[in-house]
Chains A and B, each alone.
Chain A
Amino acid sequence: MAATSTRTFRPSAGQRRLGAKLIGAALSLAFVLVFNFFLFRVLPGDPAKNLTRNRLVPAEQVEVLRESFGLGKPLPQQFAQYVRDTLSGDLGISYKFRRPVSEVIAERIWPTVLLLGLSTLLSTAIGLWIGIRGAWRRNSVFDRVSLGASLALYAMPEFWLGIMLLIAFGVGVGPLPGLFPTGGLSSPDTELASLAGVADVARHLFLPCLTLTLAYIAEYALVMRSSLLDELTEDYLTTARAKGLRDALVLRRHAVPNALLPTTTLIFLNLGFIVSGAITIETVYSWPGLGLLSYEALRTPDYPLLQGVFLLFSAAVIIANLIADLLYAYLDPRVRTG
């Protein structure tokens, strides 16, 4: 029976697989490292010129600036320097902010992870619950309402949803007062490491988190619902019922674990993008995250910063995929033998 064989683990084959996967991930990362360097240098715009545009800066001074960025050297030499520095853990100095790239990123990564992490967690949990319940009681009132709502939310542009929620709950409509701030992560003059500070951040976090959660719930609910519906027609469920198992048990032990596979893929795909932020939501709610930082970096173009954030984004996606791959093999024996 499928349910028992998933619990066996074959170490030698597993180790081989693990090794191959790890090498694959490392190669992808190396490719990204090389690719990024050339990709960003194709962007229009000369950083030194753009940073001095329309300001009282004589041409000689622009040259000094260009020189200080190391842009005066031939490209192969710049590339060698970049690879050397990156491998030794030095991401360089941002052109625009004039601070180490690692520091600039570190400052922005926790708001992003906080927002995206929490909303992914919430939307996964709620989405799966809605999907399972809807599929199990197909065509019930709950199913019809949740399906309609999911489709509507799925079709809604995040930006529009964000602005609407901002106006309704941030500014207030009619008798409803504006309960939440219109943007930002915390208020000035607040000690973050205090109870008041945590409450302040939570208050700022509420609307962006709500928007993202609503936007993601639909995806999980729809995928979970359809894959569970597929499972429900399988013979083994009839067998399980025939054995006299209770409905809840059939659902929990038999149907859901099998239906979870496509959803797992989706979850890990989304997890990989957690660090790259949600640029639309960061824009609507003025959230100081990484998504917007990468956009700002593109405008200069700030090569070291761009290389830094894209390396991070790629690494996150690659690692999430790696985990999903390995987990998948554990969850589904067909992957392992095939």
Chain B
Amino acid sequence: MVVLAALLALTAAPGVTAQEQPAGKLTFTVGIVNDVDSLNPFIGILAETYEVWALMYDQLVGYSQKDFSPVPGLAESWEVSDDELTWTYKIRQGVKWSDGQPLTAKDAAYTFNRIMKGTFEQTNYGNYVSNIKTVEAPDDATLVMTTKEPSPTMLRLAVPILPEHVWKDIDEKEVSTFENEKDAVGSGPFVLAERSTGQFVRLTANKSYWAGAPKIDEVVYRVFNNADAQLQALKKGEIDFADGLDPAPFNSLKDTEGITAVAGDYSGFDELAFNTGAALDSGEPIGDGHPALKDKRVRQAIARAIDKQALVERVLGGYGTPATGVIPALYQNLTFQPADGEAYNFDLAEANRLLEEAGYKDGDGDKVREMPDGSRPLRFRLFARQESNTSQQSVQFMQGWLRDIGIATEVKVVEENRLTEIIGQGEFDMFEWGWVVEPDPDYQLSTFTCGSRSYKSGGDVLANLSDSFYCNEEYDKLYEQQKVTIDPAKRAEIVKEMQRLLYVDAPYVVTFYYDELQAYRSDRFAGFLAQPDPGGVVLFGYGTYSYRNITTPQAAAGSDDDGGSGVPVVPIAIGVAVLGGAGVLLAMRRRSSQDERE
């Protein structure tokens, strides 16, 4: 027994001494709840992984901190020919890879050509190069790309530029299993130093970075398998940053000394989606959607029966905004606002009136309306996601409102994997889910085109991007048009018009744009920069602004440069957070999987 006690004591003993970090090194530790899946830019898919790549690699063109507009990256400047088909990028000179080799336009050309000629390489980046015809580097400082058609996305090529001298030795077969963990060579503001699967990724600052040396020495991403432990680690100071917080713990952090909580505008939305008539891309009908939902008058009536403000207050704890279009409000130039008379304001009486008018009456007095021919009651399957509390709470509210307009719903909570299959087969009536939208609207808009509906492969029906099976020729025409419109203002007009069509036809009722809830140790670090500025998130955005600017509060105060001004003021939410504080501690919670849907 004495031996056992001694054994326990022995295990415990080192704990008292090994607590302190090595002095003199400024390490910024970020908690993440999903481990980085792979550091090979052709393999990984998670949002956390993209964040690490942003530190390791540069792109040709970046996203501005203020409003996501294109800003110089490895390309110092660019111009497009008069026929809008040839793009010439001037590549920054004097940039070095982390192994000391010079970075030239040839590396950029190599990266793009590899993707265009590859097969596995296409998985992550194929979409960016689908319109590119040729990529050449006539000299070290010039990159020339020609496109098949004029393309507005040529300044939005989210492709990390890789060093040719490293990747040329990794062939087509090896690239699909290459780890890129030992001596990974990049050009970004940080260099990969160490990776321990399931535990952490450590990067050291590139003190000769072309856009200025980071003021910190290291960034560590530390993996937490549950959000509560991550929260405790932040409170204790083991980590300096946490995101993906839930409203209740977030509120508790707001009053904690030494911690600053940021509810940042984020690029995600949630929606109530309808089965508008499931069919294959060929037009052949599939699935068993309710016929009433093919009638846009029913969908419009439902749109008036969803109290978006109530969802924001009671489901999001106030951390979000009621939504309109499928491009979130933080993309100010592209987001859509309905005209006064057009908006579907929450009005149950009006929704009831519209359904009556359209012929959906309750003939048998059971408080559920029937089809105009009396054949079938308006009883819909409404799916929510097992992985998301937000989803499950939202549908509960929706169920109540729909009951008030004579629509019965059967709520089904299923796993996201399962729901993806159900949607792909068209075997649903309504579901609650969401998207995270990139600064370029093309991808999001493409999910509503006729060609994005499910398709057949070897007798099986397989899901594509469309989950409402919306198909409108006019919309498709506008989609093709925005795809070849280079002028940002003109393109924005088309994008807004497309969102107007979606608003009117209502394949989705877009419910809200949620805030990303983040918190950091402001007693250890200052100088965080919000994107967009003001009001946005400080990390996990599009760029490395905060990582390069943060330093100790003392250093930030002493140097008196821009540092502090970027810290956003947290908008204090009205309304009551629904989630109970005690339950939060116990409930095992993973981050909403939307974050990994990017």
Q: Which residues of A approach B to under 8 Å, CB–CB?
A: 43-46, 49-59, 61-65, 68, 72, 93, 96-100, 104, 107-108, 122, 125-126, 129, 159-160, 163, 166-167, 170-172, 178-186, 188-189, 196, 199-200, 202-203, 205-206, 209-210, 282-289, 292-293, 299, 301
By beta carbon, the residue of chain A nearest B424 is A49
Q: How far is the CA of A210 from the CA of B177 in the complex (A)?
A: 38
| Complex contact B420–A98 (CB within 8 A) | no
Interface residues on B, range: 35 or more
**B346 located at the interface, meaning its Cβ lies under 8 Å from any Cβ of chain A in the complex:** no
**B481 located at the interface, meaning its Cβ lies under 8 Å from any Cβ of chain A in the complex:** no
The 20 listed contacts between A and B (C-beta, < 8 Å) are A49-B420, A49-B462, A50-B417, A53-B597, A56-B127, A57-B123, A59-B462, A59-B464, A64-B123, A125-B4, A179-B12, A182-B236, A182-B238, A185-B196, A185-B198, A188-B196, A203-B18, A206-B11, A209-B11, A283-B588
* Given the contacts A53-B420, A64-B122, A108-B197, A98 and B177 also touching, CB distance less than 8 Å: yes
A contact residues around B19 at 8 Å (CB): 179
| Complex contact B229–A166 (CB within 8 A) | yes
Q: How far is the CA of A58 from the CA of B130 in the complex (A)?
A: 10
| Complex contact A98–B236 (CB within 8 A) | no
The smallest C-beta distance from B150 to any residue of chain A, in angstroms, reads 20
| Complex contact B123–A288 (CB within 8 A) | no
Q: Which residues of B approach A to under 8 Å, CB–CB?
A: 1, 4, 7-8, 10-12, 14-19, 22, 27, 37-38, 40, 43, 45, 119-120, 122-124, 126-128, 130, 176-177, 179, 193-194, 196-200, 202, 220, 222-226, 228-229, 232-233, 235-236, 238, 415, 417-418, 420-421, 424, 435-436, 438, 443, 455, 457-458, 462-464, 585-586, 588, 597-598
The smallest C-beta distance from B42 to any residue of chain A, in angstroms, reads 9
The smallest C-beta distance from A220 to any residue of chain B, in angstroms, reads 13
Q: How far is the CA of A159 from the CA of B273 in the complex (A)?
A: 36
| Complex contact A170–B236 (CB within 8 A) | yes
B contact residues around A104 at 8 Å (CB): 197
* Given the contacts A61-B123, A97-B38, A99-B177, A183 and B229 also touching, CB distance less than 8 Å: yes
| Complex contact B232–A182 (CB within 8 A) | yes
A contact residues around B463 at 8 Å (CB): 46, 49
* Given the contacts A49-B462, A209-B11, A288 and B197 also touching, CB distance less than 8 Å: yes
B contact residues around A59 at 8 Å (CB): 455, 462, 464
| Complex contact B15–A286 (CB within 8 A) | no
Contact of A180 among B15, B38, B443 (CB under 8 A): B15
| Complex contact A286–B224 (CB within 8 A) | yes
A contact residues around B597 at 8 Å (CB): 53-55
The smallest C-beta distance from A217 to any residue of chain B, in angstroms, reads 11
| Complex contact A44–B415 (CB within 8 A) | yes
The smallest C-beta distance from B33 to any residue of chain A, in angstroms, reads 9
| Complex contact B435–A54 (CB within 8 A) | yes
| Complex contact A44–B238 (CB within 8 A) | no
| Complex contact B179–A99 (CB within 8 A) | yes
| Complex contact B223–A286 (CB within 8 A) | yes
B contact residues around A299 at 8 Å (CB): 417
* Given the contacts A49-B420, A98-B40, A166-B229, A199 and B458 also touching, CB distance less than 8 Å: no
| Complex contact B238–A181 (CB within 8 A) | yes
| Complex contact B225–A282 (CB within 8 A) | yes
| Complex contact A54–B126 (CB within 8 A) | no
Contact of A55 among B45, B177, B235 (CB under 8 A): B45
Contact of A45 among B179, B223, B235, B418 (CB under 8 A): B418
| Complex contact A184–B228 (CB within 8 A) | no
B contact residues around A285 at 8 Å (CB): 225, 229
B contact residues around A202 at 8 Å (CB): 10-11, 14-15
| Complex contact B197–A107 (CB within 8 A) | yes
B contact residues around A184 at 8 Å (CB): 199-200, 222-223
* Given the contacts A171-B236, A188-B220, A206 and B421 also touching, CB distance less than 8 Å: no
* Given the contacts A72-B458, A189-B22, A200-B18, A64 and B119 also touching, CB distance less than 8 Å: yes
| Complex contact A108–B37 (CB within 8 A) | no
Q: How far is the CA of A183 from the CA of B438 in the complex (A)?
A: 33
B contact residues around A98 at 8 Å (CB): 38, 40, 43, 176-177
B contact residues around A188 at 8 Å (CB): 27, 194, 196, 200, 202, 220, 222
With most chain B CB atoms within 10 A of its CB, the pick from A62, A166, A178, A182 is A182
The smallest C-beta distance from B2 to any residue of chain A, in angstroms, reads 11
By beta carbon, the residue of chain A nearest B594 is A54
By beta carbon, the residue of chain A nearest B422 is A44
The smallest C-beta distance from B89 to any residue of chain A, in angstroms, reads 21
Q: How far is the CA of A298 from the CA of B232 in the complex (A)?
A: 28
| Complex contact B586–A51 (CB within 8 A) | no
| Complex contact A45–B233 (CB within 8 A) | no
B contact residues around A108 at 8 Å (CB): 197-198
B contact residues around A166 at 8 Å (CB): 229, 232
Q: How far is the CA of A55 from the CA of B122 in the complex (A)?
A: 12
Q: How far is the CA of A104 from the CA of B464 in the complex (A)?
A: 31
A contact residues around B458 at 8 Å (CB): 72
| Complex contact B16–A200 (CB within 8 A) | no
The smallest C-beta distance from B527 to any residue of chain A, in angstroms, reads 22
By beta carbon, the residue of chain A nearest B221 is A188
* Given the contacts A126-B4, A129-B1, A185-B199, A163 and B235 also touching, CB distance less than 8 Å: no
Q: How far is the CA of A299 from the CA of B457 in the complex (A)?
A: 24
Q: A50-B417, A288-B197 are in contact. List 4 more A-B contacts (CB 8 A).
A: A55-B598, A126-B4, A171-B232, A185-B198
The smallest C-beta distance from B359 to any residue of chain A, in angstroms, reads 37
Q: How far is the CA of A301 from the CA of B130 in the complex (A)?
A: 29
| Complex contact A196–B18 (CB within 8 A) | yes
* Given the contacts A108-B197, A178-B236, A186-B199, A284 and B418 also touching, CB distance less than 8 Å: no
Q: How far is the CA of A200 from the CA of B224 in the complex (A)?
A: 18
Contact of B127 among A58, A125, A287 (CB under 8 A): A58
| Complex contact A167–B232 (CB within 8 A) | yes
| Complex contact B15–A206 (CB within 8 A) | yes
The smallest C-beta distance from A261 to any residue of chain B, in angstroms, reads 23
